[in-house]
Amino acid sequence: MSRRNGNTGKTHCIRGHQFIGANIKAQGDRDRRCRACECAISAVHNWLRRKGVPITEAAIKEYADRKYATLV
């Protein structure tokens, strides 16, 4: 029996970005991640950590949406 990762059939990430073209960040053979969200989480986390501000989902979503627009 073959085991399948639940992410292989998904078409959008949790923030609504479509898994297409440059926005797909492959993790091994079966796992895919949203490149825009991965960049946003890293950038927002680093920036806010330096400022001492708590990380919010709204800040991540805003940055990820801007990054997604440049990728697609």
Selected residue with higher pLDDT from 51 and 66: 66
Q: Render the burial of 15-35: b for 16+ CB within 10 Å, e for the rest.
A: eebebeeebeeeeeeeebebb
Where residue 4 falls among pLDDT bands split at 50, 70, 90? low
Average pLDDT for 38-51: 84
Task: Kindly state whether residue 51 falls inside one of the protein's structural domains.
Answer: yes
In angstroms, rounded to a whole number, what is the distance separating the alpha carbons of residues 26 and 38? 11
Selected residue with higher pLDDT from 69 and 26: 69
Q: What pTM value is reported for the model?
A: 0.67
Task: Kindly state whether residue 65 falls inside one of the protein's structural domains.
Answer: yes
In angstroms, rounded to a whole number, what is the distance separating the alpha carbons of residues 7 and 66? 23
Where residue 29 falls among pLDDT bands split at 50, 70, 90? low
Task: Kindly state whether residue 66 falls inside one of the protein's structural domains.
Answer: yes
Task: Kindly state whether residue 38 falls inside one of the protein's structural domains.
Answer: yes
Domain count, the chain: 1
Domain of residue 53, residue span: 6-71
Task: Kindly state whether residue 1 falls inside one of the protein's structural domains.
Answer: no
